[in-house]
A and B are shown apart, each in its own frame.
Chain A
Amino acid sequence: MSMEDYDYLFKIVLIGNAGVGKTCLVRRFTQGLFPPGQGATIGVDFMIKTVEIKGEKVKLQIWDTAGQERFRSITQSYYRSANALILTYDITCEDSFRCLPEWLREIEQYANNQVVTILVGNKIDLAEKREVLRQRAEDFAETQSMLYLETSAKESDNVEKLFLDLACELIREAKQNKLDNNDTAPMPGEGKTISYLTCCNLN
């Protein structure tokens, strides 16, 4: 695994109410597809896309909720070790916006302290049905010190930007962290996956 050709690997996790377009955002970004119903997502755990930013290869591992958000039953382990969270709501659905504080509580509870969170208002192609004003969402994002972006998975508006911005932010943080902790002591919670343990203990 160590042979792979990338400079950074980040785990990005999507959350937000059912039906706000999380899967569409991922599929649009990773495959350029819309709507996602054309290809089944069953059995696909996460999607991978490698992008190049300023000459550095960044591998993004993008995880979707597997439908567990439908009845508010996301496993805590889903949040673990995420580098970034994309908290998504639907600008045409007030309800999905009002649920945001609840999602933030989950993040606070289960996600890593250093996680980068970005708030995304999706479905801007349905501008005429908008229920949540941009200003309101921006203000909310600011109070929670989150980045904010509006997207349309359908029209592919800002989707690329969303993931690339996140990747840039994550690279910046990773470099900062490296500067801050120049010691090689393992970070708390930096466990190893079984496959990694296996390949490192062959001797």
Chain B
Amino acid sequence: MAAEDLPSEFDVVILGTGLAESVVAAAFSRVGQRVLHLDRRSYYAANWASFTFNALLTWIQQHHEGPQPEEVQDWSSLLEEGEELIYLSNSDSASISNLQVFCFTSEEDEEEETPNTTEEERGAADEDAVKETSESADLKEEESHQKPEETAARDGEQLTNKDTFDLLQASQNEGEEPNAHQPTPIAAPSQSEPTRKKISYAQLVKEGRRFNIDLVSKLMYSRGSLVDLLIKSNVSRYAEFKNVTRILTYRQGKVEQVPCSRADVFASRQLSVVEKRKLMRFLTSCAEETEEQRAYNGRPYLEFLTDQQLGENLQHFLLHSIAMVTEDTPTEEGLASTRHFLRCLGRYGNTPFLFPVYGLGEIPQCFCRMCAVFGGVYCLRHSVSGLLLERDSNRCKAVIDSRGQRINCSHFIVEEGFVGADRKRVATPPRFLSRAVLITDGSLLPSESEQQVSMVMVPPAAGGPVVRMVELCPSTMTCIPGTCEDLVHLTCQSVGSAYEDLSPVVTRMFRTPESHDQEKRPSVLWCLYFNMADGSGLEAEGHDLPANVYVCSGPDGALGHDHAVRQAEDIFQKILPEEDFCPPAPNPEDIIYDTENTSTGEDERQDREEDRQEDVREEDRQEDVREEDRQEDVRQEDRQE
């Protein structure tokens, strides 16, 4: 079946399965457009993906190796009279850079922790044994990232010739420091929590398919455009969500919970009675715009807050954790984001945020499912090599897929990474996000419940960027179930490399071999740094492409998902201005299929689905089914012969 060809007639062809592309796909399919949705990768969601730990190791490995050299095929023979060919880039390798991995935990389980796994006891005695037991795919990874120095020495040439991986440099920089992979003070069980089991690298790999790690770190505002869209379209039925349970703040070396709901404020032990009253008064007065607030337009929010006589404590909370802005953000902007925060509060829980179980990578997939349910055709590991341009109209009339098949379409939507550099109008230097993913052995602020999802804004220190941190717990399926292990995501706008931007914060807030006097902090077991292209600069730059080709940018640095949703909606409205964007899909729960009376369900459905195009689609689909049946008959005949 691998050889089956794609159908060759579509209304919309979409390349890339990131969030914006997937929302667009669902939107078009939902109103009866024939959609073909492709991704060159073997997984969904592009740079929005969530990976199991093992799949993440593979992803890291692929980026170390750099793009597979792929010969550019010459499809010019497929051109017809008056047509021109635009080649697309066959990889998006530029969007990820400066990948660095550190493992600070022991490679093998310590003896007392492995009561029943003989396999690993053997492994502890002989390092190679574990390598034998792990799959061959893992083997390369283990070698390449686990022991930075060794690898660098062995594969030095290979690693330094590319901008992707400067482990060599990193390990040289740390020449003075304790070796990253050596058992370090953290491993000594005598210090703070003698009873806590320390998770070994072998265990992370073994349990690696049971937790999911996101490439981007975002949260869903409970009244943000993504949640609204999920509800409106009924795509929400494909996913499950958890509340973010705490907003934390980091100040003067201490991690504290920010009281943000009314109940929190009254229950707070950090705030004095006077502070509580002030905070409540401020939050209430914020809700509506006043003359007084307008007087501060254009002046820093901090100035406004200072003049409200709130005191330093509250100012800090309001500025960094609630408005999540910087000291020089203008007042009107600070107030707008404070209001947004307050509006989202209490819809689902006592913070304004939701997080999807299994990670953010689920969300684009949910939209893809919706697209498929309405007839969209899906094919991963399949790309578009080029666009066929009609010279007279300067429109893209077809695409050539990676197998040289010509697929006609009226519109083509593409993830920015696949657009060749020669087609980008670069006005400003590309911006990047710095990301770190840490697997830690506990929460920054331990509490009675181990199932906390926390958001922490770390104010800038010494001219560094503001760092946003999200700490996830096992119940979101992002860490090993049944452990105190947590997964921490750090994100900021890049100033330098991800390591340069974020490792000072990591060292300050967690225990690593570089940090000292941090006994009370959770230890970092494993961490990954990388930079990702910031998708928010796209509109300004633009592309030199036909009018019916639309570009979706990758993830942006904001906390919410508004950028991608807006982009999807804009594209949809440009192409189909009259159509509703993602109208509710019929709820299968409402369709009662009855074995005795088969017509009931159908009639009900027909009544609801009055959309004319919908009916056309249904006829098409029936034809498809008949076509399939015919093909099947042919196949069966073949076999008979």
**A residues lining the B interface (CB < 8 Å):** 17-19, 30-33, 35-37, 39-49, 61, 66-68, 70-73, 75-78, 80-81, 92-93, 95, 99, 108-109, 113, 126, 129, 131, 186, 188-195, 197-198, 201
Q: Is the CB of A66 within 8 A of B373?
A: yes
Q: Is B589 an interface residue (CB 8 A)?
A: yes
Cα distance A19–B482 when bound, in Å? 40
Q: Please, which residues of chain A bring their CB within 8 A of the CB of B237?
A: 45, 193
Q: Are B357 and A30 interface neighbours, CB within 8 A?
A: no
Q: Which of B209, B362, B621, B628 contacts A41 (CB 8 A)?
A: B621
Distance of A11 Cα from B189 Cα, bound (Å): 44
Contact of A43 with B586 in the complex, beta carbons under 8 Å: yes
Interface residues as binary, B355-367 with A (CB distance below 8 Å gives 1, 0 otherwise): 0111001100110
Q: Name the contact of A201 in the complex, choosing from B44, B346, B625 (C-beta under 8 A).
A: B346
- Known contacts A18-B1, A75-B44; A193 and B378 CB within 8 A of each other: no
* Residues in B neighbouring A78, C-beta threshold 8 A: 365, 369
Asked whether B588 lies within 8 Å of A45 as measured between CB atoms, the reply is yes
The reply to whether B236 and A48 contact each other, CB–CB distance below 8 Å, is no
- A75 x B369 contact (CB < 8 A): yes
Query: Restricting to B588-603, which residues have a CB under 8 Å from any CB of A?
Result: 588-589, 591-595, 598, 601-602
Which residues of the partner chain A approach B482 to less than 8 Å between Cβ atoms?
188
Query: Are A73 and B241 in touch, CB under 8 angstroms?
Result: no
Q: Which A residues touch B52, using CB under 8 A?
A: 109
Question: Which residues of the partner chain A approach B111 to less than 8 Å between Cβ atoms?
Answer: none
Contact A66:B372 (CB < 8 A) given known A44-B588, A189-B357: yes
Give chain B residues whose Cβ lies under 8 Å from the Cβ of A76.
44, 358, 361-362, 365
Q: When chains A and B are docked, how far (Å) is the Cα of A40 from the Cα of B428?
A: 50
Closest to B595 in A: A32
Contact A75 B609 (CB under 8 A): no
Q: Are B236 and A193 in contact (CB under 8 A)?
A: yes
CA distance A33 to B356 in the complex (A): 37
Inter-chain contacts of A39 with B (CB < 8 A): 602
Given that A45-B588, A73-B380, A201-B347 are known contacts, is A194 also in contact with B236, CB under 8 Å in the complex? yes
Q: Does A31 contact B365, Cβ atoms closer than 8 Å?
A: no
Shortest distance between the CB of B629 and any CB in chain A (Å):
7
Within 8 A of A (CB), among B360-396: 361-362, 365-366, 368-369, 372-375, 377-382
Residue in B377, B378, B594, B640 whose beta carbon sits within 8 Å of that of A129 in the complex? B640
| B348 interface hit (Cβ, 8 Å) | yes
Alpha-carbon distance between A43 and B366 when the two chains are bound, in angstroms:
14
A171–B380 CA distance with the chains assembled, in angstroms: 36
Q: Which residues of A contact B475 (CB under 8 A)?
A: 186, 188-191
A93 partner residues in chain B, CB cutoff 8 A: 635, 639
Say whether A66 contacts B241, CB under 8 Å. no
* In the complex, B231 has a CB within 8 A of chain A: yes
Of chain B, the residue at the smallest CB distance from A26 is: B593
| A151 and B382 alpha carbons, distance in the complex (Å) | 34
Rounded to whole angstroms, the CA-CA distance of A189 and B602 in the bound complex is 35
Bound CA–CA A106/B5 (angstroms): 23
Shortest Cβ distance from residue B69 to the other chain A in the assembled complex, whole angstroms:
25
Which of A30, A41, A191 gathers the greatest number of chain B CB atoms within 10 Å? A191
Docked complex Cα distance between A41 and B622 (Å): 9
Chain B residues, Cβ within 8 Å of A73: 44, 378-380
Instruction: Knowing A68-B378, A195-B236, A201-B349 are in contact, say whether A188-B593 is a contact too (CB < 8 A).
Output: no
A-B contact pairs, 10 of them (CB 8 A): A30-B593, A31-B593, A43-B609, A44-B591, A45-B585, A75-B369, A76-B362, A188-B474, A189-B476, A192-B240
Besides A70-B4, A77-B358, A188-B474, 13 other A-B contacts (C-beta < 8 A): A30-B593, A32-B598, A47-B588, A73-B379, A77-B366, A92-B636, A129-B636, A129-B640, A192-B242, A194-B354, A195-B231, A197-B354, A201-B346
Cβ-based interface call for B188 (8 A): no
| B358 and A80 form a contact (CB under 8 A) | yes
Nearest CB of B to A27, in Å: 9
- How would you classify the secondary structure of chain A's contact residues: helix, strand, loop or mixed? loop
Residues B241 and A40 in contact, CB atoms below 8 Å apart:
no
A36 vs B598: C-alpha distance in the bound complex, in angstroms? 12
CB pair B628 A42 closer than 8 Å: no
Given the interface pairs A37-B625, A129-B640, the reply to whether A42 lies near B477 with Cβ below 8 Å is no
Residue in A17, A42, A113 whose beta carbon sits within 8 Å of that of B618 in the complex: A42
- The answer, yes or no, to whether B296 is at the interface (CB within 8 Å) is no
CB neighbours of B369 from chain A (8 A):
66, 68, 75, 77-78
B139 within 8 A of A: no
What is the distance, in angstroms, from A122's C-beta to the closest C-beta of chain B? 13
Q: In the bound complex, what is the Cα–Cα distance between A193 and B231 (angstroms)?
A: 10
A31-B598, A33-B598, A192-B242 are contacts. A80–B362 as well, Cβ < 8 Å? Answer: yes
Most buried by A among B6, B210, B475: B475
The answer on a CB contact under 8 Å between A48 and B474 is no
* Contacting residues, chain B, for A70 (C-beta < 8 A): 1, 4, 377-378
0/1 interface trace, chain B 234-248, chain A, CB 8 Å (1 if under): 001111111100000
CB neighbors of A among B112-158 (8 A):
none
Q: How far is the CA of A174 from the CA of B405 in the complex (A)?
A: 50
Contact indicator B365/A48 (Cβ below 8 Å): no
Residues on B with beta carbons closer than 8 Å to the beta carbon of A61: 588
The 7 closest A-B pairs by CB, nearest first: A191-B240, A191-B357, A66-B372, A71-B379, A75-B365, A37-B625, A40-B618
Do A72 and B366 have beta carbons less than 8 Å apart?
A: no
Contact among A18, A46, A108, A189 for B588, CB-based, below 8 A = A46
| B251 interfacial by beta-carbon distance below 8 Å | no
Chain B residues contacting A108 (CB-CB under 8 Å) are: 209
In the complex, what residues of A have CB within 8 A of residue B377's CB? 67, 70-71
Q: What are the residues of chain B within 8 A of A109 when measuring CB–CB?
A: 52, 209
Q: B617 an interface residue at 8 Å Cβ cutoff?
A: yes
Give bound CA distance, A66 to B366, whole Å: 12
The reply on B420 being an interface residue by CB < 8 A is no
CA distance A49 to B598 in the complex (A): 13
With the chains together, A47 CA to B411 CA distance in Å?
33
Most buried by A among B240, B358, B380, B382: B240
Q: Which residues of A contact B592 (CB under 8 A)?
A: 48
By a CB distance below 8 angstroms, the chain A residues around B640 are 129
Please name the residue on chain B nearest to A81 by beta carbon: B240
- Whole-angstrom CA separation of A33 from B626 in the bound complex: 16
A77-B381 Cα distance, complex, nearest whole Å: 18
Q: Does B519 contact A (CB under 8 A)?
A: no
- B614 lies within 8 A of chain A by Cβ: yes
Q: Is the CB of B380 within 8 A of A71?
A: yes
The answer to whether B632 has its CB under 8 Å from any CB of chain A is yes
Q: Does B451 contact A (CB under 8 A)?
A: yes
* B502 contacts A by Cβ under 8 Å: no
Instruction: Using known A-B contacts A45-B373, A72-B380, determine if residue A188 contacts B477 with beta carbons closer than 8 Å.
Output: yes
B230 at the interface (CB under 8 A from A): yes
Cβ-defined contact, A40 with B621, below 8 A? yes
From known contacts A190-B475, A192-B241, infer whether A31 and B1 are also in contact, taking CB-CB under 8 Å. no
Q: Are A43 and B614 in contact (CB under 8 A)?
A: yes
In the complex, what distance in Å separates the CA atom of A76 from the CA atom of B231?
21
Instruction: Report A41 CB to chain B, min CB distance, Å.
Output: 7
Chain B residue nearest to A95 in the complex (CB): B1
